[in-house]
Structure 1
Amino acid sequence: MSISVQRSQFNHSYPILTRPHDNDLHGHVSGATVHGYFEAALQALLLQEAGLDLRDGEVTGFVVSSAADFFALPSFPDALEVTVAVTRLAGSTVEYRLGLFRPGEAEACALGRVVQVFVERASGRPVAVPDALQKVLAGLQLGEAVGEG
């Protein structure tokens, strides 16, 4: 079984410029840094597309699960792109699928999965995804799951 992750499976992306300190001792972008790229793309989505106030808003999102699979080893000075799609949107929970690509390449360097739960900031209790965000996320839902090839 192999996983095939194609750029065509995503319709939303964010540019990432690697930095010299993104590389690990082996000369490749570290896994922790890739997770940081994924987080940066999700926060940009929440701020820019949905207008969510991440610092002082009544509702905030917490990452409750994340994972990544790696297929290629980018390194500084690569320019990269993080693609974002939604695989599940239900109640207070959103599951994102993220791809890490070199510009112009069809196949991903990495595939990430992040699950985020939205909560009321004051109580910490789960709340439904805000309407404005739900509309944005609904537009990012995958028609087909990233497939096994």
Structure 2
Amino acid sequence: MTDREPPRLRAAYAAFEGLQTRWTDNDQYGHIYNATYYTLFDEAMTRALAAIGLPDPAPGKPILVVVENGCTFFRELSYPDALTVGLSVTRLGRASIRVEMGMFRDEDQDEAARAYFTLVTVDATTRRPLPTPPDDRARLAALMPAGARPAQVGAVAG
């Protein structure tokens, strides 16, 4: 058995997005297919970022690309579970952002799965990393967990 962090509670997250499982999400064993978790987490992250105006779709504005992700499973989920995905920005470097998410069934208080996505701010044309603009950093800081200070997040190199 590995030493891994136990499931987190909803209070660990700063923002929440509701999602509904679909019949096609289940695999032959009657639970959500593991790759589908990534799709659901990505959907929740995209919605949360769009709610704060990121990325800015204006021409010439930087975009965010996923460079790494991972998922830990704690309990099975299946259709017709209603889900809530909690989301927090846990690291805000010069160009990189780490978003951690917990997936909750219905009104459960402890997560059934946890994922992280590392994003990098890049030039929309060249796809080369560049510093996250200050106004984007401020919007991302609003997604930090309760009690975290923006100075802590901004101090991490990226």
Stretches of 4+ aligned residues off by more than 3 angstroms: 53-57
Cα shift at 1:51: 4.4
Q: Specify which of 73, 76, 79 is matched with residue 79 of structure 2.
A: 76
RMSD (CA atoms): 1.8
Q: Specify which of 6, 10, 35 is matched with residue 3 of structure 1.
A: 6
Secondary structure of 2:66's partner?
Answer: strand
TM-score (norm 2): 0.83
Secondary structure of 1:32's partner?
Answer: helix
Secondary structure of 1:136's partner?
Answer: helix
TM-score (norm 1): 0.88
Cα shift at 1:53: 3.5
Cα shift at 1:92: 0.7
Q: Are positions 1:25 and 2:47 aligned together?
A: no
Deviates more, 1:129-138 or 1:16-25: 129-138
Give the partner amino acid of 1:110: A
Cα shift at 1:57: 5.4
Q: Specify which of 94, 107, 119 is matched with residue 97 of structure 2.
A: 94
Identity %: 29
**Contact 1:86/1:140 (8 A) holds in 2:** yes
Secondary structure of 2:139's partner?
Answer: helix
**Greater relative CO, 1 or 2 (CA 8 Å, sep 6+):** 1
Q: Which runs of 5+ in 2 are unaligned?
A: 149-158
